[in-house]
Structure formats: C-alpha cells, structure tokens
Amino acid sequence: MHNPDDELEEELRRLAASRDPVPAQLHQAAVDAFLWRDIDAEIAELVYDSLLDTDAASLVRGPADQRLVSFAAGGMTIDLEVTSAGPGRTVMGQITPPQRATVDIRHPQDTVTVEADDLGRFRSGPLPRGPASLRLRPPPDAAGPAVITDWIAL
Amino acid sequence: MAVNPDDTGQLVRGAAGGDEIAWRGLVDRFSGLVWAVARAHRLANADAADVYQTTWLRLAEHIRRIDHPDRVGAWLATAARRECLQSLRVAGRTLPTDDMDRLDLTPVTGNPTEDAVLAAEQEREDADRAAVVWRALDRLPARCRELLRVLMASPPPSYAEVAAALGLPLGSIGPTRARCLRQLREEVAGITGGASSSN
C-alpha cells in the first residue's frame, strides 16, 4: 500500500504536529469547558450577529467598532451592543420584554455581575476580549429558570 | 459498558450524560481539527486561541442537543469556521499570521563523535526537507493551503469534516486534495531545483 498522496499527507501531518501543535494550555481549556455547563438553565441561541451580516444595508447601520448581537430563548430576546474599548470590550444590553434580572457575564478567567433595571437595560464595565456568555437570573420575587446565552468571542 | 473512544456518537452521548471521561475523549479526538480550522483561516495566535476556546465552550453548552452525535466533528468544524469568519471581520484583528515565522530550524550540534555526526546530519536533512515542504505550502494558492492545513490535523479528519471546516461541497474535497498535493510537489521540486526525493 504505497499511495504517494497518502504518504505526502502523512508527512504533512507530522510536520503540523511538530511545527504548529495545539498549545497545551488550550487543550486543557477545552477539557475545562465541560465545567461551564449549566444544565438547569435555558439556552438563548445566537440569532443575529452584525459581524456575519453580509447584507449591504448593515454596512451603514452603525460604526465599524460596534457589533450588534441578539440571542433568543422562548419569548425572551437579549440584544447586545459590543463596543471595543482599547484592548477590551464593553457590553450594553437590553432584555425584551423589559424585566429586572441579575446578569452574570461569564468568561473563562472570571465572572462579572451587573443588574438589569426595570426597563431590562444593563451595562458592563471593561471586559477582556475572548469567549463570553451571559447568565440571566430572575429577581428573587420572580419565578423561572436562569437563561444562558451561547458563547461568543468578544 | 465502557465507552469506545473511536465511537464519537457514544462519546457525545456519554458527555451529554455528564461523563467527563467521554468529554475528554471528544477533546482528544477533535482538538487538532478545531485548531487546524483556525490556522487554515490564517488567524494569529490570540485569535486562533479565542476561536478554539469559544468553539469548545459552545459544544459543552450544546452537548445534550446535538442532532447527529456521530457527526459531532462536522458540528465542531462548522462552529469553528463561523467563529473564524467573525474573527476576521473584527476591525483591527485581520493581520494574518505567517506560520513561517514559527519555524526554528537551528541545526542541533552535539558531541562530534561519529554517530553524533551522522545523527546530526540526518536531523539536518530532515529539517531541510521540513523547511522546504513548509515553504512550498506557503506558496500554494489560498484554497490549497487552507484545504491542506485542515487535512493535516491529527488524527486525520473525515472529508465531511474538511468540507464543513471550509464551507466546500463534500464531493469537491477528494479531487481538490489530489490537485493541491500535486501542486505542492511541484513547488517542492521548484524550491529544490528538481532534485527532491520521489515524494
């Protein structure tokens, strides 16, 4: 069995393994990703991301350093405006229908908690770039499960 | 029943049930593929790291709702590709990386006994060949470079995974692979002045 194409592909594979392997700390981060699951929460799926919107109209919708992202779960929508702030990012959010909630902004190094007001609005301080997911907890006097958003790279 | 690490469907179902060993099996199986997708899109280190991490966090969150557990590799490749396209569109993050910069081809020098000299010679030849192939890869048209970088993942990805990683039709992978490997050979021959080894 001497298929020259297969042999060359194997040589390339060895080359990639020695020249450009998966960094060990990233492999470990992938293993640790399992610990971030929240099996009781409802997942809000990513339904819009201006970065993936190739519709020409979106190009005039806002400044280039502003990204609009929407998540939906059941009857709830979470709209985010992500702004680059130097090396970091800030997030302004709107929960629809408007409601109070405690918002955990989760990223692999840390979790930052902010409060959404009666109108469902919230705002973060500076956040590091990288993966992030929001976890919305209803106020103590309201029933309902927590909602977590899909992970996105800020 | 022990989980078979070659049965990805079983690994997905195990992880969905909370089995950390099964999850680890998935990471071991597809870590190289997710990294290769990021590299095929020429993302620099920090961006490739974001794509890689975000992709795995998304899978962990969605693990109980994967429609086709045996096709989780294609799911990961698709998710990673989408993250790459987002990353490439973020202003100021579009500087491509050049894998060539990562090469370290300094010959190893050891004790000058005869064996060591021969070993060093062999090592230098291997390094020369590696450098030539690496350079040849870089000279290929973007589409070939991308395809080969994904195919180079360890363990080898399926054609369905490669197609998902690059947004290409499944039927095009085989013929494109053959054409790109031929072009790679020609580039290698060009660099070595036609005096390269048979492959």
Instruction: Read off the pLDDT of residues A106-150 as tens digits, 9 standing for 90 and up.
Output: 998 889 999 999 999 999 988 988 999 999 998 877 778 899 999
Q: Which of B57, B90, B133 comes nearest A36 by C-beta? A: B57
At B197, the pLDDT band (50, 70, 90 cuts) reads very low
| B112 and B188 together in one domain | yes
CATH number of the domain bearing residue B70: 1.10.1740.10
What pLDDT score was predicted for residue B2? Answer: 58
Contact B60/A26, CB-based, under 8 Å?
Answer: no
**Which residues have CB under 8 Å from A65's CB, separation 6+?**
A83, A84, B91
Chain A residues whose CB is inside 8 A of the B199 CB are: 4, 7-8, 11
Q: How many CB atoms lie within 10 A of CB B26?
A: 25
| B118 and B137 together in one domain | yes
Instruction: Read off the pLDDT of residues A52-70 as tens digits, 9 standing for 90 and up.
Output: 776 645 554 555 678 899 9
At A38, the pLDDT band (50, 70, 90 cuts) reads confident
What pLDDT score was predicted for residue B96? Answer: 43
Last residue of a domain, one of B53, B72, B91: B91
For chain A, the farthest-separated pair of C-alpha atoms sits apart, in whole angstroms, at 70
Q: Which of A7, A12, A22 comes nearest B31 by C-beta? A: A22
Contact A151/B57, CB-based, under 8 Å?
Answer: yes
Percent of the residues in chain B that have a pLDDT greater than 90, as a whole number: 67
How far does the CA of residue B25 sit from the closest CA of chain A (Å)? 9
Q: Is the pLDDT of residue B97 over 60?
A: no
* B166 touches B135 (CB < 8 A): no
| B140 and B78 together in one domain | no
Q: Which residue has the higher pLDDT, A73 or A87?
A: A73
Last residue of a domain, one of B59, B91, B123: B91
Find the domain containing B158 and state its range: 99-192
Range scoring the smallest mean pLDDT among A56-60, A71-75, A115-119, B87-91? A56-60
Q: Is A20 on the interface with B (CB under 8 A)?
A: yes
Q: Residues B105-116: what's their mean pLDDT?
A: 54
Among residues 105-124 of chain A, which lie with CB inside 8 Å of chain B?
Answer: 108
Range B14-18, long-range pairs (CB < 8 A, 24+ positions): B15/A34, B15/B63, B16/B63, B16/B64, B16/B66, B16/B69, B18/A39
Chain A residue at shortest CA distance from B25: A31
Say how far apart CA B178 and CA B176 lie, in whole Å.
5
What pLDDT score was predicted for residue A55? Answer: 61
What pLDDT score was predicted for residue B56? Answer: 97
- Burial class from Cβ neighbours inside 10 Å (0-12, 13-18, 19+) for residue B17 reads exposed
One DSSP character per residue, A129-147 reads: SSEEEEEEE--TTS----E
| B29 and B48 together in one domain | yes
At A85, the pLDDT band (50, 70, 90 cuts) reads confident
**Reported pTM:** 0.84
| B112 and B184 together in one domain | yes
| B70 and B152 together in one domain | no
- Burial class from Cβ neighbours inside 10 Å (0-12, 13-18, 19+) for residue A32 reads middle
Q: What ipTM was reported for this prediction? A: 0.88
| B29 and B86 together in one domain | yes
Q: Is A59 on the interface with B (CB under 8 A)?
A: no
With respect to residue B3, please indicate whether it lies within any of the assigned structural domains: no
| B173 and B104 together in one domain | yes
Q: Is A49 on the interface with B (CB under 8 A)?
A: yes
Contact B60/A33, CB-based, under 8 Å?
Answer: yes
Range B135-141, long-range pairs (CB < 8 A, 24+ positions): B135/B100, B135/B187, B135/B191, B136/B184, B136/B187, B136/B188, B136/B190, B136/B191, B137/A12, B137/B184, B137/B187, B138/B98, B138/B99, B138/B100, B139/B187, B140/B180, B140/B183, B140/B184, B140/B187, B141/B183
Q: Residues A101-108: what's their mean pLDDT?
A: 93
What pLDDT score was predicted for residue A93? Answer: 96
| B108 and B186 together in one domain | yes
At B161, the pLDDT band (50, 70, 90 cuts) reads very high
Q: Residues B96-118: what's their mean pLDDT?
A: 50
What pLDDT score was predicted for residue B106? Answer: 38
| B82 and B163 together in one domain | no
Provide the β-strand partners of residue A111.
A106
With respect to residue B199, please indicate whether it lies within any of the assigned structural domains: no
What pLDDT score was predicted for residue B196? Answer: 43
If one counts the domains in chain B, the total is 2
**Which residues have CB under 8 Å from B48's CB, separation 6+?**
B35, B38, B39, B97
Q: Is the pLDDT of residue B176 over 60?
A: yes
CATH number of the domain bearing residue B187: 1.10.10.10
Q: Is the pLDDT of residue B109 over 60?
A: no
| B107 and B184 together in one domain | yes
Q: Is the pLDDT of residue B162 over 70?
A: yes
Average per-residue pLDDT in chain B?
A: 85
Q: Is B94 on the interface with A (CB under 8 A)?
A: no
Q: Is the pLDDT of residue B130 over 70?
A: yes
Last residue of a domain, one of B57, B91, B125: B91
Instruction: Read off the pLDDT of residues B18-66 as tens digits, 9 standing for 90 and up.
Output: 999 999 999 999 999 999 999 999 998 889 999 999 999 999 999 999 9
With respect to residue B42, please indicate whether it lies within any of the assigned structural domains: yes
